[in-house]
Structures are given as structure tokens and as C-alpha cells.
Structure 1
Amino acid sequence: MENEHECIQEINSGVAPKLPVKRDHTIAASILISSIILAGTWIYTSAINAGARQAATAAVSSELQKKVLPSGGVILPVTWGDLGAKMVNAGVIDATKFEAIYQQRGFTDEYRKLLLGKDNGPVTMTEENSGYLLNLFWALGLSNKNPILEKGEMSDPKYGGAGSFASTGGWTVSKGKPMDHFSRHSFVTLTKAQQTLVDKVSKGIYRPCCGNSTHFPDCNHGMAMLGLLELMASQGVSEADMWKTALAVNSYWFPDTYVTIATYLKDRGVEWNDVDPKEILGSSYSSSQGYARIASQVEQPQQQGGGGSACGGEGAEPAAQQRSQGGCGI
């Protein structure tokens, strides 16, 4: 009765009585369910869009791979002749040790002819043989007598001596110690003009495994490129063709790196066939620091395998199926 009396008083006083509030939980539940549905739709749509972008990126990457890494390979403008046999005879390459490395990888007739044959013609580099050619050019660059090795950064005392680098100590398939063959053999002789050309071009070719140019060949890639430059210069290859060939070779040695660079350029309206090889081989693109800057601006497709471009690892022989990139070892 007391509550009833209070209610009557509130009515009489013109104040609305306080009635019990009924909370409608169905509205809140509906809002929550709607939010979940909308969020789920957004996530699903975003996943579809992300998948579409990934597929588009992969498609572009696949097309660029065909341009950067032609399936038929690239014919290098040099004749190999009997250089392999000469290096075997001089002990730069121990044929038994060298062949043993490829027992599991596969020692093909082509490999045997390049190593021991005496009438090899022009060399064609492909994804499959790029690692093998890397090792042959490495042996040539290491052993061929050249002032770049004797008076350049490799022999600068502040770096601890030429024998302390991966390109020298890592060559484990010679007869005797690697330094027994360092700049000791005259497999390729250069005129003064040819040496000047090698000096010039070697200072402009960088590699994404480190920040050094070919003029400082402290890893296998640098030493191999030096050997190739010497061979090209000795056979009268023009400077323009040396730059062009060096870019093609670097692309096979570091496939993912140069496909990424090609993607970066395409996003900015530049086709791979139109690039300036000298510019791309420079430090802004091909050094480890330059490439890191480029890669940070490119959306990467999902990798199906393969390694990075760091100097290190178990072997210099890239596995074409996995698109791995060579380390600084045999």
C-alpha cells in the first residue's frame, strides 16, 4: 500500500511514475550478429582481393622471368676452347675432385667436354648449367695472372691478405693450396687497352650478395665475373656487349634478384629489354644495399622454393628447379 500511495502522490503531483524498464536484448543481439556478418564479409572479400592481387603479381613475375631468364639460355660472346683442360693440367682444377662434386648433381657430357675438351666453341648459359659455368669462370678468374688481383683490393694489407677471402680460401678443388694458383697462370693475356677496359667495366659491376664490385672479387661470383671479363676482353668483345653479357650472366646467377628488379622497373613503365645494363649492374640496383632498397618497394609473389642471394651456403651450383642462388662455395 505504501508503494501504491507513493505512485498516487506522483500522479497527483503531475510527475510521471517510475515504471520498471524492460531491456530488449534481441536488438543488441541483432546488431552484434550483423556486425559479425559484415566483418566476415569484409574478411572474405579482402581475402579474395588479396588472392587476386597475388595471382596477378605471380602472372607478371612469370612473364618477366621469361624475359630475364630466357628458357633457351644466352649465348656468351666467347669461345671456351681448351681452357678447362689447361686449368686441369696446371692443377687449378683437380678433375677427380671436381667431377666428384657433381656425382649427385649430375656430371653431363656437356660438363665433361667443357672441363676436358679442347675444341669447345661458344658457350651457352642456361638456368641448368649456370652454376657449373660459375665454377669454371671462378677457376679462371682466380688463377689467371692479372694486376687487379695483384695490386687491387684483394691484395690490400688492410683486408688481411688475399688468402682470407671466400673466393680464394673457398676454392677447394685444386691441386695444392688455392693461393698456389692465385694470379699465377697466363691462360688469358690482355693488351694494355684490353686491361684498361677490364679495369673500367669491373669497377661498375656489382653483385647482390655483397656491396663490392667485380674489381674487388672477394666471393666466387665476383671472381667468376672477373674471369669472364678477361676472357671477353681478350677475344675482342666490345664494351657495350661486355655490359650486356654481364647483366645476363648475373641474372642467371641471381635469378630472383633480377626478376624483382625487372618487376620494380615494370611498375614504373620500363621494360626489361629497354634497360641500360650498365645502370642496372651499378651499386644502385645490384649491390646488396641497392637491391635491398629496390626489393622493399616490390610486392613479392609467394616463392615456390629457392634461396636468397647471400654469399654462403653449401654450393655454388644453383638448383634450377628450386631457383636457388649460389653461395660462395663449390
Structure 2
Amino acid sequence: MKITLEKVHGSMNTFYMVDGEERDDYANLALQLCAKDQGVDGLLVILPSNSAHAKMRVFNRDGSEASMCGNGLRCVARYVCEKEGVDEAVIETMKADLAVRREETLMDGIETYSVQISPVSFQLKDLPMEYDNQTTLIQQAIPEISEEIMFSAVAVPNPHLIGIVPEEIQKSPEHQKKWAEKFNGQNNYFSDGVNVSYVTKVGQGIFVRTYERGVGFTNACGTAMTASALISCMSDMVPFGEVAVYNPGGMVKCTVNKSGDTFELLLTGNATRLSVHEFQWEEEQVDSEFTAFEILDEQRQYEKFIEEISVVVEQFAKRKE
């Protein structure tokens, strides 16, 4: 079967994206595409919805399905808004119908979208996480990992373990890699794995590096950046409101507002189209192949944006190409 794919990214969190119909073999397509292109993190599938403008499904490099993807949602938001000729839409995801909106550009020539991140839960059962018979874990050391790093666990709805770390730990990912790999293998804490992010204050914002469940270290993870902004606000590292969140793939803006015990989270950043591909999709990977492609010109402008913020980003990481 011949299908049309777009290659897209939000903060260099890169995906193939397909507009299709409900079927049970998209995990196989994700595995095939990621095997053929080591530079992508997964597959975004846009489907019809009974409750929203469209539905999004997200498949990781390993074929597992994620409940949400903030960077991917921005790319889907752009596709749906441009297709429908609107500036605002609602996209159905696994756990919630989320509002998306076209915004003023981060920089001339960079299409920018904001997406709602919801629901938010600090209940360990919602990750799920087992730890010392606790129901929550907020700004607390886990002695097995470190006596100095304060960790928080939150589902948005993807599961996240977030540690606030000093520069020296952020600059060298070995510590994070060790524990992220442990928590995404056989372990007593996370039965279904977890996204592990290390956060460091930079200027008026934060830098976030994420080891993503089902992917590994990634240029950026939208829900991780938003969850990290939330925890940074709760810990008084940055004020509530708009937070600049730097990552190996660039920078986004996360808005964190609190009303009583309720949090409202918004993720704003680029939605960049890299290329359009024709793909002959067969059941067996050996029979599938790319048959045509067209490179688009949008990445050049995003590279200019990266140059402007490179002084901050390169303190801690270089992005994956």
C-alpha cells in the first residue's frame, strides 16, 4: 500500500506523520520507519474523531504507544488547522480532548502553535509508581539514586520522574542514563517505565534533558518540558506564568497557572515541516521502501533560531541530528 508521510518536528523531536484511518498495525509502521531512519523518534497518526476536529495516536521507536506527545501534538495541530482553515482546534488524544491554537511566531518563518497539556496528576498510581507506600512524590530525595537530588513524580498524562540537578550533573548524562535505563527495565518502582528528566536553572528559565520511555535520550519531549516547568514553579526555582524551557533541540515556552489545587498547562513552540515522502508500506519491512520524497525549506529558518539560543543550549548538550 502506498502512503504519504510528512516528516515533522517540534524542538527537533522528529516524527513521520500520516493522515489515515483506524487500523491495528500502526505500531508495525512505526517500527519499519524508525528502522529505516534512525533520526526519527516515532510516528504520529492523524485519524477521524467523533468528539474533536481530529484524533492523534503516537507510536514510539520501539512500537509502544504513548498516551500523549506535546511536541507531536503541535505538528498535528498545524496540519489539522491548515487542513480545516482554522486557527484553533480540538484534538482527541488517548486521555483527553486538548485545545490547540496557532500563535505568533517564535521567529519570522517559524510556524508556532500552543497546545494544552492535560490532565495533571501527582498520584503515584496514575504513573504508575510504587515507592515506600507513598501516594505522591514531590520534591523528595530517593536515597537509592541520590541524597542531594530532589525528585518529583507527575503524570501529564505521560509518566514523568523529574529531578532538579546542578550544572555538573546536567553536563554529564551518565548519571541520568544509568537510572533512566534501570527504571525502563526490570525494576521495583515503575512497572510500565517512565520518562526521566533532569532540570537545571539557566538565567530566567530552565534547561531540560529527557530520557524518553520507548525512545531513549531525545532532543525534546513536550510533556516532559511542561511537567518540568510545573515542578520548577512549584519549587520556587522560577515564578508561575510563562517559563522559557531550553532543551537539546531548541526552546519552547511553557505557561504554568495555578488556581487552588488545579494547574493549567500550555506548551508553545515550533511545528516545522521537513519533507514529504511516498512510502510503499507492506507487512514485512524488507518489502517496504521509500519511493519518492520532497525536501521542504522550513528547517533553514529553524536553524537560525537555534543559532540565537545556542549559547544557552550548548552549555549542556548538542542536539541529535
- TM-score tier by shorter-chain length is under 0.3
TM-score (norm 2): 0.25
TM-score (norm 1): 0.24
More helix as a share of residues: 1
More strand as a share of residues: 2
Q: Which has the larger radius of gyration?
A: 1
